[in-house]
């Protein structure tokens, strides 16, 4: 039985990753990858191929940036998800983020994620 070459497996995982992103997130990720490629001592001649070959490490780094934080899928399975969506709807996003008296980074990240997925006023989980 023939097995798929490693390159095609990486390519499929990479395509699935890109497909999981919104258009804006995809643009942000690719721009992030191009910037990282340009910073290398010997920048690749084909930066998009380099991004594809290194996307897992790049995605992990990108998710730590403000643009990438909103893509975290951890929120889908978070037990607070529905409760927090309801709070955003009733309080408004700013009051939700500052409900405890100061800016709550975790709630802000949740809001960005939920808003990017159109879960607050649109789609249901």
Summarised one tens digit per residue, pLDDT across range 103-115 is 887 788 788 888 8
Contact between 75 and 114 under an 8 Å Cβ cutoff? The reply is yes
- Distance of alpha carbon 18 from alpha carbon 21, whole angstroms: 5
Q: Is 70 exceeded by the pLDDT of residue 66?
A: yes
Q: Are 16 and 59 part of one and the same domain?
A: yes
In a domain, 125, yes or no: no
Question: Bigger pLDDT: 6 or 96?
Answer: 96
Mean pLDDT of 65-87: 75
Question: Bigger pLDDT: 3 or 36?
Answer: 36
Lowest mean pLDDT among 12-16, 29-33, 36-40: 12-16
Distance set, CA 85 to CA 63, 79, 122 (Å): 22, 11, 11
What is the per-residue pLDDT for 86?
93
pTM of structure: 0.53
Question: Bigger pLDDT: 97 or 75?
Answer: 97
Q: Is 90 exceeded by the pLDDT of residue 98?
A: yes
Q: Are 11 and 64 part of one and the same domain?
A: yes
Q: Is 50 exceeded by the pLDDT of residue 67?
A: yes
- In sign, the C-alpha dihedral spanning 88, 89, 92, 95 is negative
In a domain, 93, yes or no: yes
* Domain enclosing residue 19, as ranges: 6-69
What is the per-residue pLDDT for 79?
76
Query: 50-89: b or e for each residue (b if 16 or more CB lie within 10 Å)?
Result: bbbbbbeebbeebeeeebbbbbeeebeeeeebeebbebbe
Q: Are 35 and 81 part of one and the same domain?
A: no
């Amino acid at each position: 039985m023939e097995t798929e070459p490693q390159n095609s497996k990486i390519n499929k995982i990479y395509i699935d990753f890109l497909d999981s992103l919104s258009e804006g997130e995809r643009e942000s990720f690719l721009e992030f990858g191009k910037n990282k490629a340009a910073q290398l001592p010997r920048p690749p001649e084909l930066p998009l191929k380099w991004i594809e070959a290194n996307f897992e490490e790049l995605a992990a780094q990108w998710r730590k940036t403000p643009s990438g934080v909103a893509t975290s899928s951890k929120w889908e399975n978070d037990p607070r998800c529905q409760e927090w969506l309801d709070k955003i709807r009733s309080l408004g996003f700013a009051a939700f983020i500052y409900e405890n008296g100061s800016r709550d980074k975790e709630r802000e990240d949740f809001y960005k994620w939920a808003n990017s997925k159109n879960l607050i006023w649109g789609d249901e989980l």
